[in-house]
Amino acid sequence: MKLEKLYDLYAEGKAPKRLYWELAREKLVPLLEVQQIVRKNPYCKSIEIREDGIVLRTQDIALFFDMTQNICRAETIFVGTEDEEIAFMGRFIPAGATIFDIGANVGRVSLGLAKAHEDATIYAFEPVAATFRDLERNLRLNGEEAHIKAFHMGFYSESGDLKFFVPGANEAASLRPITDAYYFKEGDQGQGERREHLEEVVCPVDTLDHFVKEQGVERIDFVKCDTEGAEKMVFAGGAHVFRELRPVVYTEMLRKHAARFDYHPNEIIEMFAGWGYGCYTSESERLLPFEKMDESTVETNFFFLHREKHRELLEKHSA
């Protein structure tokens, strides 16, 4: 019997107090397990159970849990599987920077960078409406809705409205259906068997170059991009940005995601090389040159730095 039902039975006078105490205690004991993880995970500070949701507070930000999802960002941070290189990213962000977070999801990276770089101007882009609402909710929770400019849109090699495929775990939403069955499962919140879900939604997209021109953006210092395989097309729509503004780029590149869009990640490396960039992985807070991806590659996140503009950064952070 659920705790809420026990509460109602006692309130209605249908359960004696001591029985209610005993049964309620069984339901509350898992809170001790949650406390143990808070103690073990040095990045987490507390979990707040509030009327408007459950909030994870870390050393720098707060995020709402979304247990309707098969997996949510606050959950991955709490259980220790989230490994964004936010502190290391910050070493490539100058004072007064302009930052683009493409594929912002619920705001984990934007919020982390906003806390670390209070003088930065941050643009956060999320095309899926439901996820965008969660992004805005987390920005309000952290008091960052003015600092971080949130846009309900994505980027691609063309402008318009495109069909996105949104599985049960909407962080895996993509312009091509995912192939990993795990993400199709809906979050059951302990209610029973999990069902599979895939929804098709139409979302607005633009090209980087057109958006920058329309918004009058004259400077971009850092771009983070995670678009579940559409990275090549996102970058292709920003040739002017990368030739002229030359931001540092931090992006995900996975062979399995790229394959759904009929390209190989090496094509992104070649594209950036044509713009004067080199590709790098990171290890122990150092940059390591990366020339070509093959079947033995295990890295999934990569930096691109312009060989001329970022020469000092490369000298400072290379092995």
Q: Which residues are bridge partners to 123 per DSSP?
A: 100, 149
What is the residue-averaged pLDDT of the chain? 92
**Over residues 165-169, mean pLDDT:** 75
Give 191's pLDDT tier (boundaries 50, 70, 90). low
Q: Provide the domain count of the chain.
A: 2
Residues contacting 305, CB < 8 A, separation 6+: 92, 248, 249, 277, 278, 280, 287, 313, 314
75 domain-assigned: no
Co-location of 10 and 114 in the same domain: no
Count of CB atoms situated within 10 Å of the CB of 181: 9
Q: Which of the residue ranges 68-82, 86-100, 138-152, 266-280 would you say has the lowest mean pLDDT?
A: 68-82
- Looking at the structure, do residues 92 and 176 belong to the same domain, yes or no? yes
Question: Do 301 and 180 share a structural domain?
Answer: yes
| Residue 24 reports pLDDT greater than 90 | yes
Can you name the residues that pair with 283 across neighbouring β-strands? 286
More confident residue, 234 or 86: 234
pLDDT at 287: 95
- Tell me if 67 is assigned to some domain: no
Query: How far apart, in whole angstroms, are the C-alpha atoms of residue 154 and residue 103?
Result: 7
CATH code for the domain in which residue 262 is found: 3.40.50.150
The 10 Å Cβ neighbour count of residue 144 is 20
DSSP state, 133? H
Q: Which residues contact 306 (CB under 8 A, 6 or more apart)?
A: 246, 248, 275, 276, 277
d(CA 35, CA 9): 28
| Sheet strands side by side (includes 222-225) | 148-151, 121-125, 98-102, 222-225, 248-252, 301-306, 277-283, 286-289
Single pTM value for the model: 0.92
pLDDT digits (tens, 9 = 90+) for 283-307: 888 999 999 999 999 999 999 999 9
Percent of the chain with pLDDT over 90: 81
pLDDT of residue 319: 66
Q: For 57-86, what is the mean pLDDT?
A: 90
**Which DSSP state fits 146?**
T
User: Domain range holding 2?
Assistant: 1-32
